[in-house]
Amino acid sequence: MAMPQGVKTDPSHPIPETMKAWVLGDPGELKLTDKPVPVPKKAEVLVRIDAVAICATDLEIIYHGPPAQIEGGEPFNKNFTPGHEYMGTVVALGPGVDEYKIGERVTVEIHAGCGQCKRCRQGMYTSCHNYGKNYGDVDKGHRANGFTTDGGFCEYQVNNINTLIHVDDSMSDEEATLVVTAGTSMYGLTELGGLVAGESVVVTGPGPIGLLGVAVAKALGAQPVILTGTRDNRLEIGKKLGADHVVNIRKEDPVEAVKRINGGIGVDYVVECSAAPNAVNEACQMVNRGGKVCLAAFPGEPPTVDVAHLVRNNIYVYGIRGEGKSATHRAEAFMRQKRFDATLIHTHTFEMGDLLEAIRYAKDRVEDAIKVVVKNKHSAEGRVAAE
C-alpha cells in the first residue's frame, strides 16, 4: 500500500491495503471481517502481527465489556478489535522513528500513556489519568491496545515506540507473546521493592501471571518461593518454574501451611494472583509484621479484609495495573538469558482464523489450557523465508 510522506517502508515487507481482523459485535460475538491496514504516525511503527496469546482479560472484554472503553463506553458494536498480548515484525516506521528497524521482531506492551499527566510523568503510564481519552474532539494521546484502541486479533497494528520490546531471535513467536505476562509479574515484584533476594515470597493462584510470578521471584533470588492453588497439575508446573514449596488449599489451610513452611512466621511478600473470594484477606494473614502484599488479580466481588490486622502489623498493600514501569524489558531479559522457561505455560496453538475455537479452549480450560496462542499464517511463511 502507499504510505503517507515521512513513513518508511521496505519492499521486502510488502503491506496490503486491507487486512483480516476480528471485530466485537454483541457480548460474546466476534466476526472476521476486512479492515484498512492502519498507518503509523509520529513515534509509531506498524507491526505485522505474528502471534497473540489469549488473556483472561480478553475474555472479560469480549463477554462483558470492561475494562475496555471505546469511544467513552462499552466496546460492543463499535468495530473494535480486541486482543493485547501480541508480538510481531516491524514493517513500517512512522515519521522520525529511528529507534527500530524494519524487519525487527518485537513484542508489545499494552499501554502508551499520554505522557503529560502527573502519573505518566512519574513513569506510571498504566495509571494514566487520561485513560481512554483518545476519541471525539479531544485526543490526549493515551493508547491501550485491545482496551481503548484496536488490539491484536488481526494482521497489522500500529504501536507507539514506547510500547515495544526487542525479541531475541532465540525466542519462538509463542514464547515472545508471554513476555507481557512475565512483565506483569515483574511489575508486581518491582512495586513490592524489587530486591527480593533471600526474602520469602508466596504467590497465590497458579494461573499464567501466578506461575510466571513464581519464575520471576525465583530468578530474582527469593527464598523460599511458595505457590498456593487448587489444582495439583498447575502446582507441579509451578515447581518446574522454581517454587520451593506448593500448597493445595483444598487439602490444608493455606495460612497455616505457609507459616509452617516458613519456620512458624509469616513471609516477607505475597503476590495475590487468584482473585478468590478470601484470597486478599488470606494474603494479609500470610505476611509477617511489616510485610508487603501485591494485588495482581481482579476479584469478582468486593473482598472482606481484616483492616485492623493490617494496621496493627504495619502491613503494606499494593495494587498493580498491567505491566508498568518498563517491567516487560526486564522480563524479556530474564527470558532471553533462559533464567526460566516461560513456554511451560503455553499449552495450545491455533491459527488466527480459528480464534473462536481458541477462545473456547481458553474460556472453558479445555484440556487444561493455560496459555492459548493464535498465529497468523504469514508468521510461519516469514520464518521459512528467513531460513
Are 99 and 231 part of one and the same domain? no
Are 163 and 244 part of one and the same domain? no
Nearby residues of 118 by Cβ (< 8 Å), 6 or more positions away: 129
Are 252 and 315 part of one and the same domain? yes
**C-alpha torsion angle, residues 70, 74, 78, 80 (rounded to 10):** 60
How far is 325 from 327, CA to CA, in rounded Å? 5
Those residues of the chain that have pLDDT short of 70 are 136, 379-387
Cα 122 to Cα 115, 251, 296, 362, distances in angstroms = 9, 44, 20, 35
Looking at the domain assignment, is residue 266 inside a domain? Answer: yes
Are 214 and 304 part of one and the same domain? yes
Q: Residue 315 in contact with residue 291, Cβ under 8 Å?
A: yes
Q: What is the DSSP secondary-structure string of 199-247?
A: --EEEE--SHHHHHHHHHHHHTT-SSEEEEES-HHHHHHHHHTT-SEEE
User: Cα 334 from chain centroid?
Assistant: 16
Looking at the domain assignment, is residue 122 inside a domain? Answer: no
Looking at the domain assignment, is residue 336 inside a domain? Answer: no
How far is 127 from 330, CA to CA, in rounded Å? 20
Are 357 and 379 part of one and the same domain? yes
Are 198 and 226 part of one and the same domain? yes
Q: Which residue has 512495586 as its cell numbers? A: 191
Are 155 and 22 part of one and the same domain? yes
Are 195 and 304 part of one and the same domain? yes
Are 160 and 103 part of one and the same domain? yes
Looking at the domain assignment, is residue 133 inside a domain? Answer: no
Are 83 and 221 part of one and the same domain? no
User: Cα 107 from chain centroid?
Assistant: 11
Looking at the domain assignment, is residue 327 inside a domain? Answer: no
List the CATH number of the domain containing 381.
3.90.180.10
Peptide bond into 82 cis (omega under 30): no
Quote the DSSP letter at residue 371: E
The domain in which residue 295 lies consists of 181-319
The SS3 of residue 354 is helix
Looking at the domain assignment, is residue 305 inside a domain? Answer: yes
Which residues does residue 21 pair with via DSSP β-bridges, in sequence order? 33, 154
How far is 276 from 368, CA to CA, in rounded Å? 19
Are 185 and 299 part of one and the same domain? yes
Are 25 and 153 part of one and the same domain? yes
Q: Which residues of 89-108 are buried (b: 16+ CB within 10 A; e: fewer)?
A: bbbbbbeebeebebebbbbb
Number of domains in the chain: 2
List the CATH number of the domain containing 252.
3.40.50.720
How far is 176 from 85, CA to CA, in rounded Å? 9
Looking at the domain assignment, is residue 71 inside a domain? Answer: yes
Looking at the domain assignment, is residue 219 inside a domain? Answer: yes
Q: Residue 297 in contact with residue 205, Cβ under 8 Å?
A: yes
Sequence letter at residue 87: M
Q: Give the pLDDT of residue 1.
A: 74
pTM: 0.93
